[in-house]
Amino acid sequence: KITVLGSMNLDTTIRTERLPKPGETVHSKEMFTGGGGKGANQAIAAARNGGEVRFIGAVGKDTAGKTILELLEQDDINAQGIKELAHTRTGSAYVMVDDKGENSIIIHGGANLKISESHVSEVSQLITTSDFLIAQFETNLSSIEKAFEIAKQANVTTILNPAPAPKEISAKLIQLTDILVPNETELEMITGRKVTNQKELDNAAQVIHQMGVKGLIVTLGSKGAFYSFASVASGFVLAFKVDAKDTTAAGDTFIGALTAKLSVDMRNIEEAIHYGNKASSLTVQRYGAQPSIPYESECLKS
Ligand code: ADP
């Protein structure tokens, strides 16, 4: 069982020939809405790939909130840990994409930023009866620390995806983290070092292990992923060669699918990473966030 604590957004994507400059008005070619938010994306990726998933989060009492709850229900995600808050808007992202694939995004955190420690405590039983807890940085740090404390006391494996990249990392949270899953930029922010080659990755892994984190999995875009487990081994798992159209939710798919596989067999880390690479290689070939996340049946084909 997997609990995800995180953000849920309704994404509005607007395609334009070119992005407007400040003060300028441009016309849109196409506009659509869909589910997004790192937390919800990761939960959906885990659920579509065999995970039994519970979600802790918050929406406003508005139509966007209702839409998001329906989307989670379609993927059989347990919503007992989700609160509908009055006088707050559901999280939203406004994504402008131009013909070159360049984008500008504004996120309104809304209800996602109102998840409190007491909210997490109230639903602590979801965490303590799970095998894994996953969190990212689109919700308040204090709620994540609370959830990780509860998890560690109950021997639940904690997975932290430090995204978006933090300016500084909480020492308390790091100590409560079992597996850290950053991309290269996030790893650089946390270690304060460049990671452009294998030696630098090995060094960064040592820094992370010295901070008290046993497991590190770094996503490397089209190169795949690097892993280092203090007591086991380290290595690379190559990405699948595909024609990437839109990398939105690639990292989220990787984490959700990886955790779904770890929840079946925690020992086979390399195989779970390989599966995460496969799932996210399908995501990057499709447009949007949640609509692009594949199901297990698609990942097992070919
Ligand atoms: P993020 O989007 O969080 O920065 P990455 O870009 O590292 O994360 O991508 C996450 C995973 O998605 C990678 O580890 C890889 O498996 C897959 N992926 C991303 N981009 C590509 C690509 N161009 N081709 C194949 N796989 C990709």
Asked if residue 29 is part of any domain, the answer here is no
39 in a known ligand binding site: yes
Asked if residue 41 is part of any domain, the answer here is yes
Please give the residue range of the domain that contains residue 283: 2-7+36-81+113-300
In angstroms, the CA 1 to CA 13 distance is 32
Sheet holding 92-97, edge to edge: 30-36, 9-15, 92-97, 103-108
DSSP SS3 for 198 = helix
Which of 281, 283, 285, 292 should be mutated for ligand 1, with most atoms under 8 A from CB? 281
**Average pLDDT across the chain, whole number:** 95
**Beta carbon of 285 within 6 Å of any ligand 1 atom:** no
Asked if residue 99 is part of any domain, the answer here is no
**Beta carbon of 41 within 6 Å of any ligand 1 atom:** no
pLDDT digits (tens, 9 = 90+) for 228-254: 998 778 999 999 999 988 888 999 999
Query: For residue 270, what is the enclosing H or E element?
Result: helix 269-283
pLDDT digits (tens, 9 = 90+) for 164-208: 998 888 999 999 999 999 999 999 999 999 998 999 999 999 999
Asked if residue 103 is part of any domain, the answer here is no
Asked if residue 104 is part of any domain, the answer here is no
286 in a known ligand binding site: yes
Q: What is the pLDDT of residue 103?
A: 82
Q: What is the pLDDT of residue 97?
A: 84
What phi and psi, each to the nearest 5 degrees, are found at residue 8? -135, 125
Q: Which residues pair with 158 in a beta bridge?
A: 133
268 in a known ligand binding site: no
Respond yes or no: is residue 252 known to be catalytic.
yes
Nearest CA owner, ligand 1 atom 9: 221
How remote is the CA of residue 89 from the centroid of ligand 1, in Å? 31
pLDDT digits (tens, 9 = 90+) for 95-153: 898 888 778 899 999 999 999 999 999 999 999 999 999 999 999 999 999 999 999 99
Tokens 């308390």 belong to residue: 172
Q: What is the mean pLDDT of residues 256-284?
A: 95
Residues sharing a CB contact under 8 Å with residue 4, sequence separation 6 or more, in sequence order? 39, 40, 42, 43, 46, 53, 54, 55, 56, 133, 134, 135
Q: What is the mean pLDDT of residues 15-40?
A: 94
Q: What percent of the chain has pLDDT over 90?
A: 87
Asked if residue 231 is part of any domain, the answer here is yes
Q: What is the mean pLDDT of residues 258-278?
A: 94
CB 51 within 8 A of CB 26: no
Instruction: Using CA atoms of 236, 237, 239, 241 in order, give the dihedral in degrees to the nearest 10.
Output: 100
pTM of the model: 0.95
Q: What is the pLDDT of residue 41?
A: 98
How remote is the CA of residue 224 from the centroid of ligand 1, in Å? 6
Asked if residue 265 is part of any domain, the answer here is yes
* Domains contained in the chain, number: 1
Asked if residue 201 is part of any domain, the answer here is yes
DSSP SS3 for 157 = strand
CATH code of the domain containing 72: 3.40.1190.20
Q: Is the pLDDT of residue 302 over 70?
A: no
